[in-house]
């Protein structure tokens, strides 16, 4: 008898969780619907200028046409390619620089003021120089996507390296471990959570770098579509690109979140 009521209480609890989830989802969905419905309505009734703010239906039609003729795929692919590559290169280089800083305390001290300056400097301001130096094309845009996250990754990861509990080092030193062994056995695995959390930040940063890069110079990509739409005053095009960016940035973020979960599970 007693056991049964325990089970019932548990069921009750599960029901409650389920209901809560449903309510949250319903609200989320409603906000989305209301937002697009209001946008559409305002545009149709000309409360807002449809030439500037377009409307969901126009964007939908536009996206459909562009998907059918294949041109949208190309632009999206280009931007995604640049962003993913910029993200990976930026993160990896940041971590590698952090490792070199850790490997020599003197080097870290020497580099300190330069890192501070580089970190404080808005990296997109380097855009024109990068484009002139590397040439207009994928390469400079990928560089933009990477450079924006390198320094911050370096700083975050390097400080994580230094915050590892010195007693782990002491244990290893009592076994006579070399500096490389200290790094491999304690510093790196202990800092993995910090490294993983930089991934999420870097996803957002890489999008900024790539879109700005495409603004400055490019013949393809979603950033290019935004600038092009702006120049020819086709705001349906601008809005479509924005929506695509939002969708893909969110997807990439979710993917990184999954990778993060997997890494945490498999490393500790």
Partner 1 sequence: MSFLSLENISHYYFSKKDFTKALDNISFSIKEGEFVSLVGPSGCGKSTILSIVAGIIQQTSGNVLLNKKPLKRSELAIGYMLQQDYLFPWKTILDNVLLGPKIHNNKSEEVKNKATELLYEVGLANVADAYPNALSGGMRQRVALVRTLITDPKVLLLDEPFSALDYQTKLKLEDLVYQILKTYHKSAILVTHDIGEAIAMSDRIYVMDANPGTIAKTFEVPIEIRNEMPFTSRRHPKYQNLFDKVWEELNQNDTATPI
Q: Are 144 and 130 in contact (CB under 8 A)?
A: yes
- From the list 28-36, 52-60, 170-178, 246-254, the region that binds partner 1 by CB under 8 A is 170-178
Angstrom distance (rounded) from CA 101 to CA 159: 10
Rg (CA), the chain: 25
268 lines the binding site for partner 1 (CB under 8 A): yes
Helix, strand or coil, per DSSP, at residue 90: helix
Closer of 148 and 196 to partner 1 (Cβ)? 196
Closer of 246 and 264 to partner 1 (Cβ)? 264
Restricted to residues 146-165, the positions that interact with partner 1 (CB under 8 A) are 165
Closer of 5 and 167 to partner 1 (Cβ)? 167
Output the smallest distance, CB 193 to partner 1, in A. 10
Q: Is the dihedral of CA 73, 78, 82, 85 positive or negative?
A: positive
Site string for partner 1, 86-105 (x = CB under 8 A): --------------------
Report the length, in residues, of the chain. 268
260 lines the binding site for partner 1 (CB under 8 A): no
Angstrom distance (rounded) from CA 85 to CA 82: 5
Backbone angles phi, psi at 54, to 5 degrees: 55, -155
36 lines the binding site for partner 1 (CB under 8 A): no
Binding-site member from 45, 70, 175, 265 for partner 1 (CB under 8 A): 175
- From the list 140-148, 176-184, 194-202, 219-227, the region that binds partner 1 by CB under 8 A is 176-184
Angstrom distance (rounded) from CA 243 to CA 239: 6
- Unique residue bearing structure tokens 């490294």: 195
Write the DSSP symbol of residue 126.
Answer: G
Binding-site member from 181, 201, 204, 263 for partner 1 (CB under 8 A): 181
Output the smallest distance, CB 186 to partner 1, in A. 7
Angstrom distance (rounded) from CA 81 to CA 214: 13
- Nearest Cα to Cα of residue 256 among 197, 190, 188: 197
Restricted to residues 192-231, the positions that interact with partner 1 (CB under 8 A) are 192
Contact residues for partner 1, defined by CB under 8 A:
165, 167-168, 170-177, 181, 185-186, 189-190, 192, 267-268
């Amino acid at each position: 008898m007693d056991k049964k009521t325990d089970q019932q209480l548990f069921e009750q609890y599960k029901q409650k969780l389920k209901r809560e989830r449903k309510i949250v989802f319903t609200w989320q969905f409603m906000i989305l619907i209301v937002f697009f419905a209001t946008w559409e309505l305002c545009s149709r009734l000309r409360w807002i200028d449809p030439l500037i703010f377009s409307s969901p239906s126009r964007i939908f039609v536009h996206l459909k046409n562009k998907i059918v003729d294949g041109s949208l795929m190309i632009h999206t692919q280009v931007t995604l390619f640049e962003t993913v590559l910029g993200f990976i290169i930026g993160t990896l280089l940041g971590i590698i620089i952090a490792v070199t800083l850790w490997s020599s305390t003197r080097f870290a001290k020497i580099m300190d003021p330069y890192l501070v300056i580089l970190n404080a400097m808005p990296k997109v301001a380097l855009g024109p120089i990068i484009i002139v130096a590397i040439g207009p094309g994928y390469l400079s845009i990928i560089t933009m996507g990477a450079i924006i996250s390198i320094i911050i990754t370096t700083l975050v990861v390097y400080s994580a390296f230094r915050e590892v509990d010195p007693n782990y080092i002491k244990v290893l030193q009592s076994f006579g471990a070399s500096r490389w062994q200290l790094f491999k056995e304690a510093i790196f695995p202990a800092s993995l959570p910090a490294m993983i959390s930089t991934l999420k930040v870097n996803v957002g940063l890489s999008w900024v770098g790539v879109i700005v890069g495409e603004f400055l110079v490019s013949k393809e990509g979603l950033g290019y579509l935004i600038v092009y739409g702006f120049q020819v005053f086709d705001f349906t095009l601008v809005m479509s690109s924005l929506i695509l960016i939002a969708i893909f940035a969110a997807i990439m973020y979710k993917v990184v979140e999954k990778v993060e979960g997997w890494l945490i599970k498999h490393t500790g």
